[in-house]
Structure 1
Amino acid sequence: MPINTASLVITPQMLSLIAEIDEFKGAWRALGTLAPDRLSALRRVATIESIGSSTRIEGSRLSDGDVERLLSNIEVRHFATRDEQEVAGYAEVMETIFASFDAMAPTENHIRQLHRDLLVHSSKDARHRGSYKTSTNHVSAFNADGKEIGIVFQTATPFDTPRLMAELVEWLNETLDQKQLHPLLVTAIFIVVFLEIHPFQDGNGRLSRVLTTLLLLRSGYAYVPYSSLESVIEASKEGYYLGLRRTQGTIRSDAPAWEPWIVYFLQSLRQQKTRLEAKLARERLMVERLPELALQILDLAKAHGRITNSQVVALTGANRNTVKKHLQLLVSARHLVQHGSGKATWYSRA
């Protein structure tokens, strides 16, 4: 059955989320005017977060620090564990996407190629990388220790997979070309159907997040490499699996329930851009050459909503008079607002 979007109702919530994301997309050209070295640093941090989060969602135990250390020695080309093999493959595929997204149309051949490259270092996957599955698979959820805690949903049969993938890719390209739906909605639907099919024996979750990045970049969301969507998903795994389960169980019905997954997906994209906005704000403050203690105070004010001199002293260990001078500096520069006076004084972000 071809992709059925007749039951899709674009709600006010969806429209509001899309408008907010697109507003940031349009503003990125002005917002992303940091020096090249700072943009490069932002992208590297986001890439490490993405690799770490995406592999941990699938059961890896490597921290972001482990990922960073591994990538700093990537030229070694020998990876002792499966977790390391998955990280290395994910890193290489992401760099391919960042460098060549405009030349990578979302065809079945490119999808299989990305899957092959994703698992290129995984010796266990040598027989099936780049090829659709030949055995039944299912989607499992993992706990913080990397142990499987249950099946999330059943997937398409190996027999049906080639036909379903051909239909999905054809729908994707036709819908994008004809501009029948907003590209964020197209991307969301493509990803949830891709995961419902689960076309490869392994690596489908990681590949779905790679394909998300590819489709977003091809749709003009140029800021995507600088903020990790994968880390947003990792932090909201319960909502991720719930959105998938509520939609995927209906995909082959006469009236698929697209809304649960689409809303989760759009909310995650909003959180991705919100995190990047915060990073850019901090970068601009650094350009103003504010002292490190002043930056710490601003972070505390954002985290706590309101702060006092005593709180800053307790949390930073800085001298009370030094903290007072920095607070006055930030108020004068209009980064903080002072409330009250004397011992009752407190501060909030401007």
Structure 2
Amino acid sequence: MDEKTTPRNRDENEIIGYRDVLNTIHESHDYIPVRPSYILQLHRDLFKRAGMSYGGQFKNVQNYINGTRPDGTQFTRFTPVAPYETEAAIEAICSSYERTLAIEAVDPLILIPAFICDFLCIHPFNDGNGRMSRLLTLLLLYQNGYEVGKYISIEKQIEKTKDVYYDVLQGADYGWHEEQNDPTPFIRYMLKVILACYTEFEERVGMLNASGVKSSAYDMVSTYISNKVGKFTSADVIAACPGAGRSALLAALKKLTEEKHIVRLGAGRSTYYVRSDALR
């Protein structure tokens, strides 16, 4: 991920591809229109390093969303649109999204998961539909001013609740082809995911204290260690406190050690810290 080594297999190449698209969205989200051509380019970049020929192309074979029964047998839970209908379907939801957003008829936090629900029901690619849906979620949130994904992984939050994710998606696609589906459960789920990310961000960063004044690096690290159970490293502190500079955080860590709030153990790369009260 630090671009210091060469990927060893297809899985690692796909991870690097995901990172590349994430970087594009982080850096240029305001310049990525919600249009089929741009979605295809993001999909192309997702699979570029893995060398997959279908990267950047809509599906050319019918795909299915399958479920598994308790006895282990599989069944088709939902059939997405046919390959020949895919491009027009994506064009339709992109146009509808931009038109609805422009007239401010629906709050973006409702409109975004509704768009993603339609995207997943179309299932426009041979592979990578789930990853693209989460990348598009991040893109649309950024474009509407919700940038928590820069600090807290929305993908990870979905992964932690993936059973619920699949359950609500199963309910949301019922009757989709007849335009009678109800995306409400999926919208509620995504709102909970976004809220959980903001809650975690608030807990980790601690940017405001009770008086409404921006906290110092010392206060941020103090808050982090007071809620931390078990050992932690300086890298953990830096990752948990993105609102302050690295040198300021390391200085705060040193001061807290000198004040005996925490104890430094190990040496070199094996150095770690624990709260002093954990050793009593």
State if a TM-score over 0.5 links the two structures: yes
Partner of 2:218: 288
How do 1:1-350 and structure 2 match up within 5 A?
A: 71-72=1-2, 74=3, 76=5, 78-123=6-51, 125-126=52-53, 128-139=54-65, 153-281=78-206, 287-288=217-218, 295-300=224-229
CA distance in 2, matches of 1:206, 1:173: 22
Question: Does the C-alpha gap of structure 1 residues 158 and 290 become closer, same or farther in structure 2, counting only changes over 3 Å?
Answer: closer
Question: Does the C-alpha gap of structure 1 residues 318 and 176 become closer, same or farther in structure 2, counting only changes over 3 Å?
Answer: closer
State the shift of 1:222 in Å. Answer: 2.7
| Cα distance per residue 1:223-247 (max 9 Å; x no partner) | 3311111111000001100111100
Helix, strand or coil: the match of 2:48?
coil
State the shift of 1:291 in Å. Answer: 7.8
Question: Does the C-alpha gap of structure 1 residues 82 and 281 become closer, same or farther in structure 2, counting only changes over 3 Å?
Answer: same
Aligned partner of 1:103: which letter? Y
* TM-score of the two chains, using structure 2 as the length reference: 0.73
Uncovered stretches (5+) of structure 1, i.e. residues with no partner: 1-70, 143-147, 301-315, 324-350
Aligned partner of 1:121: which letter? R
CA distance in 1, matches of 2:63, 2:187: 24
Larger helix proportion, structure 1 or 2?
Answer: 1
Uncovered stretches (5+) of structure 2, i.e. residues with no partner: 209-213, 230-272
State the shift of 1:157 in Å. Answer: 1.1
Is the 2:20–2:46 Cα contact (8 Å) retained in structure 1? yes
CA distance in 2, matches of 1:220, 1:285: 23
State the shift of 1:180 in Å. Answer: 1.2
* TM-score of the two chains, using structure 1 as the length reference: 0.59
Aligned residues: 230
Aligned partner of 2:148: which letter? Y
Aligned partner of 1:243: which letter? V
CA distance in 1, matches of 2:95, 2:205: 38
Q: Which stretches of structure 1, 4 residues or more, deviate above 4 A after TM superposition?
A: 148-152, 282-286, 289-292, 316-323
Is the 1:89–1:119 Cα contact (8 Å) retained in structure 2? yes
Is the 1:152–1:241 Cα contact (8 Å) retained in structure 2? no
| Cα distance per residue 1:81-126 (max 9 Å; x no partner) | 2210111000011100111111111111100000000111112x22
Helix, strand or coil: the match of 2:65?
strand
Is the 2:204–2:224 Cα contact (8 Å) retained in structure 1? no
CA distance in 2, matches of 1:291, 1:165: 46
Aligned partner of 1:228: which letter? S
Question: Does the C-alpha gap of structure 1 residues 195 and 320 become closer, same or farther in structure 2, counting only changes over 3 Å?
Answer: closer
Aligned partner of 2:79: which letter? Q
Question: Does the C-alpha gap of structure 1 residues 86 and 141 become closer, same or farther in structure 2, counting only changes over 3 Å?
Answer: farther
CA distance in 2, matches of 1:257, 1:290: 43
State the shift of 1:209 in Å. Answer: 0.6
State the shift of 1:253 in Å. Answer: 2.5
| Cα distance per residue 1:271-317 (max 9 Å; x no partner) | 1111111111289877226887x8544335xxxxxxxxxxxxxxx98
Partner of 1:28: none
Helix, strand or coil: the match of 2:228?
helix
State the shift of 1:163 in Å. Answer: 1.6
Is the 2:206–2:220 Cα contact (8 Å) retained in structure 1? no
State the shift of 1:203 in Å. Answer: 0.8
Question: Does the C-alpha gap of structure 1 residues 317 and 270 become closer, same or farther in structure 2, counting only changes over 3 Å?
Answer: closer
Is the 2:148–2:197 Cα contact (8 Å) retained in structure 1? no
